[in-house]
Amino acid sequence: MAPNNDAPQTEPVAAQAALIVDDDEEIALLVIREPDLTSIPVDAHELKSSRNSTSTSITSSILKYHYENGRRYHAYRAGSYLMPNDKQASEHLDICHRMMTIAIGNCLHVSPIGKNPERILDIGTGTGAWAIEIADQYPSAEVLGNDLSAIQPMIVPQNVKFEIDDVEADWAFSQPFDLIHSRYMCMSIADWPRLIRQMHQNVKPGGWVELFDCDLKYRSFDGSLKPKHALYKNEELVIQGSEKHGRDPCPGAKLKGWMQDAGFVNVKEEIIPMPLGTWPKDPKMKEIGAWNLLQFMEGVEGWTMATLTRLHGWTAEEVKVQLDQVRADVKNKQIHAYFNMHLVYGQRAESSALPKMYVCLRKAFFGAGMAAVSRASVEDTLSM
C-alpha cells in the first residue's frame, strides 16, 4: 500500500554525495535520436535455436502480438511481461541503453573478461543494442541475445545471433559462456535466485556474470519528493502492481546476495544514483539526469498502462490523467527525484570442486543441527 502521509522520502548520506543541486541550471535537453534499430520488419527474422541444431523461422504465433489500449505486447509467454514491445517501447529501450552505458563510464561492461572472449550471452536483450555493440567490441566472441519479443534488427554483425526464448525456462546451452549479462530486468523475473543459479551453471569456470538492475523506487535526498506527488504515487502503484504480478520490481539491492548464494566469488557491487532531470551540479550526474528525463518521458506510459489497468483495475483514461500529472512533476525543478541502480558482477570459481564441497559441507553442518553456515566459513575451513 502507498504511504498515506507526507513524510519526506529521504536517503542515507552515502547515496546523496553525488547529488548536489545545481540551482543555476537551465534545462537544455539535447535529444539525440539513436539509429532506429527496429525499422526492419520482424517477420524477416530467422532464428537458430541453441536447444537443437535446426534453423527455424519465427512461427506466426510468436509474432501474433497482442494490442491493448493503443500499445503492442509480446505473444510468446503472453501476459508474463507487462511492458509493450512496439516502436515507442524500442525507442525507450535504446535511450535507456545509452543512459546505462554512460552511467558505468561509457562502457558496456566492467567485468575483466580479457581481450578475446569466445562466448557472450545477453539475457532479455530487448532491441539487442548491447549485444550488437559488444559483438563489435569483441570480434573473437560469438554473442547470443535472447528475448520474448523479436524486436531486434535483422542486419547485425556476423558474430551476433538472437533467439526467442524464456530465460525462466530450463537452460540447455551446449557450451558455457565467458560472460553472461543481464540489464534492466526488473518487472520481468519471477525467480531471480533460480535464474542466477542457471547463470552459474552456464558460465565457464573463471567466467563472469554481470547484472545491472534497478530499485525502481523513486526517492529524494532532500525530501523534495513527497507521497502527495503524482510521480511518487504512480511509481508506488507500478511497484505494487509488479509485485502482485509476481515479477520483482526492485531486484537491485538483492543481486549481490543472490550471486553469493549461487556460489559466485569475487562479487562486487556499485550503487549508482540515477537523478531524474538535470538538477545535479556534478556534470556526469547532470548528463545521466538528462538521459533519465528523456527515458522517463518516453517510457512512463509503457511501464504504467498495463500495470495499472491489468493489476489495479484502472481504466486507460484514468491512467492517462495521472500520467499528465506525473509528467508535470517530472518537469518541476523543485523536485529532486532519483532512483538507484546496482551494478553487480562476480566470477565462477576456477575450480568447480569448491561449490560441490560447499553444498556437501552445508548439508553436513545443517544435518548436525547448526543454525547457519556461511560460504565464507566453509571456504575458511577448506583453506586451513
Residues that bind ligand SAM (CB under 6 A): 74, 81, 93, 96-97, 124-126, 130, 146-149, 165-168, 183-185, 188
Residue of minimal Cβ distance to ligand SAM: 126
Q: For ligand SAM, give the closer residue by CB, 183 or 233.
A: 183
- Residue 82, Cβ neighbours under 10 Å: how many? 24
Q: How far is the CB of 263 from ligand SAM (least distance, A)?
A: 23
Collect all residues with Cβ–Cβ distance below 8 Å to 373 and sequence separation of at least 6. Answer: 361, 362, 365, 366
Q: How far is the CB of 167 from ligand SAM (least distance, A)?
A: 4
Q: How far is the CB of 185 from ligand SAM (least distance, A)?
A: 6
Q: For ligand SAM, give the closer residue by CB, 214 or 349.
A: 214
Q: How far is the CB of 355 from ligand SAM (least distance, A)?
A: 25
Q: For ligand SAM, give the closer residue by CB, 151 or 349.
A: 151
Euclidean distance between CA atoms 329 and 175, whole angstroms = 49
Q: For ligand SAM, give the closer residue by CB, 38 or 146.
A: 146
Q: How far is the CB of 17 from ligand SAM (least distance, A)?
A: 26
Q: How far is the CB of 242 from ligand SAM (least distance, A)?
A: 12
What strands, in cross-sheet order, belong to the sheet with 177-183?
160-164, 142-147, 119-123, 177-183, 203-220, 337-347, 265-275
Q: How far is the CB of 131 from ligand SAM (least distance, A)?
A: 9
Distance of CA 350 to the CA centre of its chain: 27
Q: For ligand SAM, give the closer residue by CB, 146 or 322.
A: 146
Q: For ligand SAM, give the closer residue by CB, 124 or 251.
A: 124
Q: For ligand SAM, give the closer residue by CB, 192 or 221.
A: 192
Alpha carbons within 13 A on the beta-carbon side of 138 = 23
Q: For ligand SAM, give the closer residue by CB, 168 or 215.
A: 168
Q: How far is the CB of 89 from ligand SAM (least distance, A)?
A: 8
Q: For ligand SAM, give the closer residue by CB, 218 or 221.
A: 218
What is the biggest distance separating any 2 CA atoms in the chain, rounded to whole angstroms?
A: 66
Q: How far is the CB of 304 from ligand SAM (least distance, A)?
A: 14
**How far does the chain reach from its first CA to its final CA, in angstroms?**
50
Q: How far is the CB of 116 from ligand SAM (least distance, A)?
A: 24
Q: For ligand SAM, give the closer residue by CB, 8 or 157.
A: 157
